């Protein structure tokens, strides 16, 4: 495996970042997770825009243009001979002192890793996920906005640990108001009376690129979509529920906190949207 680090490729064993990099010391950096289908990166430009917006929010000066980052991404896929894979793009603040001073970090580092994808097992798409709600609350946007896809994922990791302890592979997170925000690494949707509902950005979520794609394709399919504040009740009482993420695509949820959702099986609208999503990835 060849890994791109700020303009050069290294073998996996030699792909290293300094222990003085603030990405390592403080989680001071940003990232993207993307997928390629048949050699083409899905929604690449959207991922770039989100990365650049995260960088702007954290005042990290990405040392290349969007076009250069896109070419480096394709170069990384090519050198690793990957057509269908997962790409992790990371920008760290760079080497600094042991203090917090970001202005002393002069050279942000760019890392691109392309790998074969470890998806959820196929059976999860057929049976649907059983998830629980974490007691770890999603970071309040007034603290650090969840819209920033930063390297500091402790909030999500703590929630995911709770999920794991409960025997679940994903976990629901609420915001400080007690409303549904998102899952530890995926956005959430429900289907109620033929309409699609998902929490709005203000609920404190990462604005998922898969989420946006689903909103668009639902529109094309004539399915009404509303971005509305939701509580757990709206999930308990929904007909269907599913999660979205670049790695997971759309994955059905059939149980939340012991309550079966709808008939306790993956929903028909969920599966229709998943089929339509697959078409989109093949375009």
Q: Give 49 or 165: the residue with its C-beta nearer to ligand PMP.
A: 49
Residue nearest to ligand PMP (CB): 208
Q: CB of 107: closest distance to ligand PMP in angstroms?
A: 26
Q: CB of 20: closest distance to ligand PMP in angstroms?
A: 27
First to last CA, the chain: 28
CB–CB of 34/126 below 8 Å?
no
Q: Which of 12, 149, 255, 283 is catalytic?
A: 149
Separation between Cα atoms, residue 134 and residue 161, nearest integer Å: 9
CB–CB of 192/239 below 8 Å?
yes
CA angle 186/32/167 to nearest 5° reads 35
Q: CB of 120: closest distance to ligand PMP in angstroms?
A: 12
Q: What residues line the site for ligand PMP (CB under 6 A)?
A: 33, 156, 182, 185-187, 206, 208-211, 244-246
Separation between Cα atoms, residue 147 and residue 212, nearest integer Å: 13
Q: Give 79 or 169: the residue with its C-beta nearer to ligand PMP.
A: 169
At 162, list the tokens: 């709770």
Q: Give 35 or 105: the residue with its C-beta nearer to ligand PMP.
A: 35
Q: Give 175 or 244: the residue with its C-beta nearer to ligand PMP.
A: 244
| Residue 149 annotated as catalytic | yes
Cα→Cα distances 225→96, 189, 209, 271, Å: 46, 10, 16, 16
Q: CB of 213: closest distance to ligand PMP in angstroms?
A: 8
Q: CB of 150: closest distance to ligand PMP in angstroms?
A: 10
Strands 129-133 and 249-256 turn out to be parallel
Find where tokens 């759309």 sit: 250
Q: Give 60 or 209: the residue with its C-beta nearer to ligand PMP.
A: 209
Separation between Cα atoms, residue 139 and residue 110, nearest integer Å: 26
Catalytic site residues?
Answer: 149
């Amino acid at each position: 495996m060849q890994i791109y680090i700020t303009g050069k490729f290294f073998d996996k064993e030699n792909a290293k970042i300094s222990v003085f990099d603030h990405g390592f010391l403080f989680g001071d950096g940003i990232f993207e997770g993307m997928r390629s289908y048949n050699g083409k990166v899905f929604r690449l430009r959207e991922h770039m825009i989100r990365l650049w917006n995260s960088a702007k929010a954290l005042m990290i000066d990405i040392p290349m243009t969007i076009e250069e980052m896109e070419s480096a991404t394709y170069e990384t896929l090519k050198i690793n001979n990957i057509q269908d894979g997962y790409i992790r793009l990371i920008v760290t603040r760079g080497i600094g002192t042991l203090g917090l001073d970001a202005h002393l970090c002069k050279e942000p580092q760019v890392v691109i890793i392309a790998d074969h994808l470890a998806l959820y097992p196929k059976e999860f798409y057929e049976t649907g996920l059983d998830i629980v709600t974490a007691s770890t609350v999603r970071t309040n946007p007034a603290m650090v906005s969840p819209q920033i896809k930063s390297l500091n994922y402790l909030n999500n990791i703590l929630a995911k640990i709770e999920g794991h302890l409960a025997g679940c592979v994903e976990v629901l997170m609420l915001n400080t108001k007690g409303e549904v925000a998102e899952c530890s690494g995926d956005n959430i949707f429900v289907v109620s009376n033929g309409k699609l509902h998902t929490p709005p950005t203000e609920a404190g979520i990462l604005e998922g690129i898969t989420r946006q794609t689903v909103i668009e394709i639902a529109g094309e399919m004539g399915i009404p979509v509303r971005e509305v504040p939701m509580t757990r009740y709206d999930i308990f009482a929904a007909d269907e529920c599913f999660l979205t993420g670049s790695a997971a695509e759309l994955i059905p949820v059939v149980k939340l906190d012991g309550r079966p959702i709808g008939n306790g099986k993956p929903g028909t609208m969920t599966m229709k949207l998943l089929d339509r999503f697959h078409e989109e990835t093949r375009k």
